[in-house]
Amino acid sequence: MTPYHYSDNQYVANKQSPLHYDSCARISMVLWGDLLERTGGTEVEAGAFSLVVKPQDIKHANRYGRRGARIFSVLFDGDQLPAFLPKGDTYQWYHQGAQLPILRFIRQMQAPAPDVPELLIELLGGLPEPLDQHTQVLPDWLARIKTEIDDCFTENLRVRELANKAGVHPVHLARVFRQHYGCSVKEYVQYRRLQQALDLLGSSRDPLSQIAYAQGFSDQAHFCRQLKKELQCTPGQVRNLLQDVSFIQDIGH
């Protein structure tokens, strides 16, 4: 018997689920939309192309965003991840750096009779090492700057201006931001723009030029170049992959 099966679910806007346990361990990928997941005293915001590795015994609640979400999961017949996967007893969300591994996984799953264990090993092996943020105290000013970037990433943000708002030196902001988030401010802004663009490619038929401008790219060509650079594919290829595929219908299990 196959030790795994699939779930490809769409959740309506603003749906909330109370605290609960999943019926089995799983690896889940957000293909579009967003959600807030709460476990104990911790909250995680996840958007398009975020991924979570979740054993069965994680009690959590979810609240989905204003457009809902589509989530594809590989579910395992047991309370823990199978032995061929690393760190099978951990619960971990991945965001920045997960886009390319997820996209490769989705594309490879379309091949006839995919070797799912090998693809899962490649998927998880391609994810970045999670930052141990629990050992670092997040300064209040940095949390405010992070929130401002999340709210205004489509604008032309400059480290100097952000530092002035935070009341710190620009170099100090750049250094502390990288220490806590594992990337530069510019890299994080680019990630947020691509994340939201991927979201719209998966959930809408908006013209590419409209998506590009809405997410802060200078034009459609800039958007296409950046996507090609980061994910080795065109916006049209991403759109076709996300919108024209039903995992449940097309993948035997």
The torsion angles phi and psi of 121, rounded to 5 degrees, stand at -60, -45
At residue 139's C-alpha, the angle toward residues 196 and 42, to 5°, is: 60
Instruction: Find all residues with CB under 8 Å of 242, minimum gap 6, and list them.
Output: 31, 32, 106, 198, 201, 202
For domain 133-243, the CATH architecture is Orthogonal Bundle (1.10)
Smallest CA-to-CA distance from 74 within 14, 126, 7 is with: 7
For domain 4-130, the CATH architecture is Sandwich (2.60)
The torsion angles phi and psi of 176, rounded to 5 degrees, stand at -70, -35
CA 70 to chain centre: 12
Residue boundaries of the structural domains of the chain: 4-130, 133-243
In contact, 58 and 22? CB cutoff 8 Å: yes
The one-digit pLDDT tens for each residue of the chain (253 residues) are: 458 888 899 999 999 999 999 988 899 999 999 999 999 878 999 999 999 999 888 999 999 999 899 999 999 987 777 877 766 668 899 999 999 999 999 988 888 888 988 999 999 999 988 766 555 688 999 999 999 999 999 999 999 999 999 999 999 999 999 999 889 999 999 999 999 999 999 999 999 999 999 999 989 999 999 999 988 899 999 998 888 666 654 343 3
